[in-house]
Chains A and B, each alone.
Chain A
Amino acid sequence: MNLQVMGEYLPLYIRAFVLTIRIGWAGIALAFFIGIAAAFIMHFKIPVLKLFVRAYVELFRNTPLLVQLFFIYFGLPKLGLSISAETTGIVGLGLLGGSYMAESFRSGLDNVPVSQVESAFSLGMKKGLTFAEVIFPQALAVSIPGIVANLVFLLKETSVFSAISLMDLMFTAKDLIGLYYDTTECLVMLVIAYFIMLLPVSVLGSFVEKRFRYRIYGV
């Protein structure tokens, strides 16, 4: 392995790293919004809307992100709507992530016993307060493992962004390999970059999970 070559590539990798993280987390933020809204609609079984949400969740969970990105990136311009590669990445990741997050949040909401809600009502609590103080904290404790798994999964999925010519980590590595054939160096740096990006998420995730679960379940 040639360390000097790796040193030369480092600035390019750092730029790609920042881009990947920016788009990745922007997409995840969108996924949270979509996921919470969709979970609400499914949990409270809001008429009509729940059918659309169901269809959305199944559609996006059962198609690859690459295909979704192609549809958004190459399909929308045909309808007269052209959006940048970066926006495509964020929207694509947000829509895919939203469908996964929706299921995680919903399983948490469904897990809170009805008797908890009745008990809160009997204390004079209204719906909003009951949701904030009773339902949400308990739902979150159940949802967190799923949410953390989704975060890691979504950040890894950013590697398909290279297909819509976003200069993310994957794109940079492939590009450099194509130009200079330093395959080993490029791939090692790629693995390290992804690892640095994801390890804190996993570690922090299990820490948060333990804290939330412990109060309720003791383990």
Chain B
Amino acid sequence: MVLLFIVYFGSGKTMGVKLSAELSAVIVFSFWGTAEMADLVRGEVLVIVGPSGCGKSTFLRCLNGLEEIQEGTVSLDGEIIGSAKVRGKWNRRRIGMVFQSYDLFPHKTILENIILAPVKVAKRSRAEAIAEALKLLDRIGLSDKKDAYPRQLSGGQKQRVAIVRALIMHPEILLLDEITAALDPEMVREVLELVLSLAREGRTMIIVTHEMAFARAVADRMIFFDDASIVEEGPVKDFFEHPKTERLKTFLRSFEYSR
């Protein structure tokens, strides 16, 4: 079963991406992909890497309609979930997203954070939402924190709760935007272990990260972004062992150390 996740930007047959993230009326960030990106298959984990400011986060945010796109359509299984034509109206019900800054709601307890969307958006019963939330909290080992407020949790715990909060909406695709970038090194592992377990379950994910070892472990397919375009794309093994482009080789070398 193939789940189409087609991102058609621009008019041509190529996967040309032309988006804009307007910071103000003056600054326009324009962005276009030059390589063709194959459709995402259900259960696939796609990892996007690249130097800072290369546009990988923007790309992810465009998929979820958090940046306005200038042209094109994002569709899922043939259903259009957002396009340049209907700005501000993005259907985010089928896509979950987790951010670098966790963004738990600070005035709500952990349990309230998790059940807010299922109760208010998905209109599920409170009892059922709580039951599932507790199950998910148990899975990440934070059952005892259900009545705590976000400020009482460590960064790693907050990020795991944020992931669970996205999961309870049963998204078909999970977008993870540099979710460990703000964490202390010893907390990175607990979050990435959770993501790895999601991958083993066969969840479809698009991950932007700087953690190369993790990318290698979790990815089915890799994309290398540089200068706001897709430079190289391929299966994870080829990507790391036989990089084709000079830019990717240089990028991968920057993670190696020797005396």
Residues of A at the B interface (CB closer than 8 Å) are: 113, 115-116, 118-126, 129, 133-134, 137-138, 141, 215-218
Whether B107 lies near A216 (C-beta < 8 A) is yes
Residues of B at the A interface (CB closer than 8 Å) are: 64-66, 90, 92-93, 95-97, 99, 101, 103, 105-107, 116-117, 120-122, 149, 151-152, 162, 165-166, 169
Q: What residues of chain B lie closer than 8 Å to A119, measured between beta carbons?
A: 99, 103, 105, 162
Whether A121 lies near B99 (C-beta < 8 A) is no
Most B CB contacts (10 A, CB to CB) among A124, A134, A218 go to: A124
Most B CB contacts (10 A, CB to CB) among A115, A118, A126 go to: A118
Q: Pick 29 A–B contacts, CB within 8 A, sort by A.
A: A113-B101, A115-B103, A118-B103, A119-B99, A119-B103, A119-B162, A121-B92, A122-B95, A122-B97, A123-B96, A123-B116, A123-B121, A123-B166, A124-B92, A124-B121, A124-B122, A125-B120, A125-B121, A126-B121, A129-B121, A133-B105, A133-B116, A137-B107, A138-B105, A138-B106, A215-B106, A216-B149, A217-B151, A218-B151
> How close is B29's CB to chain A, nearest CB, in angstroms?
16
Q: What residues of chain B lie closer than 8 Å to A126, measured between beta carbons?
A: 121
> How close is B89's CB to chain A, nearest CB, in angstroms?
10
Most A CB contacts (10 A, CB to CB) among B64, B107, B117, B169 go to: B107
How far is it, in angstroms, between the C-alpha of A120 and the C-alpha of B207 when the chains are bound? Answer: 19
The dominant DSSP class at the A interface is helix
Q: What residues of chain B lie closer than 8 Å to A121, measured between beta carbons?
A: 65-66, 90, 92
State which of A118, A123, A138, A216 has its C-beta within 8 Å of the C-beta of B117. A123
Q: What residues of chain A lie closer than 8 Å to B107, measured between beta carbons?
A: 137-138, 141, 215-216
Whether A123 lies near B165 (C-beta < 8 A) is yes
Sample of 8 more A-B contacts, CB < 8 Å, known A121-B65, A124-B92, A124-B117 = A121-B66, A122-B95, A123-B121, A123-B165, A125-B116, A125-B120, A133-B120, A216-B106
Whether A134 lies near B96 (C-beta < 8 A) is no
Q: What residues of chain B lie closer than 8 Å to A122, measured between beta carbons?
A: 64, 66, 92, 95-97, 99, 166
Q: Which single residue of chain B is at the shortest CB-CB distance from A216?
A: B106
State which of B66, B116, B151, B169 has its C-beta within 8 Å of the C-beta of A118. B66
Whether B151 lies near A216 (C-beta < 8 A) is yes
Q: What residues of chain B lie closer than 8 Å to A129, measured between beta carbons?
A: 120-121
How far is it, in angstroms, between the C-alpha of A134 and the C-alpha of B108 when the chains are bound? Answer: 9
> How close is B238's CB to chain A, nearest CB, in angstroms?
32
Using A124-B92, A215-B149, A216-B107 as known contacts, say yes or no to A118 and B121 having CB atoms under 8 A apart. no
State which of A116, A124, A217 has its C-beta within 8 Å of the C-beta of B105. A116
How far is it, in angstroms, between the C-alpha of A141 and the C-alpha of B107 when the chains are bound? Answer: 9
How far is it, in angstroms, between the C-alpha of A123 and the C-alpha of B170 when the chains are bound? Answer: 10
Q: Which single residue of chain A is at the shortest CB-CB distance from B102?
A: A119
> How close is B172's CB to chain A, nearest CB, in angstroms?
13
Using A121-B92, A216-B107 as known contacts, say yes or no to A115 and B121 having CB atoms under 8 A apart. no
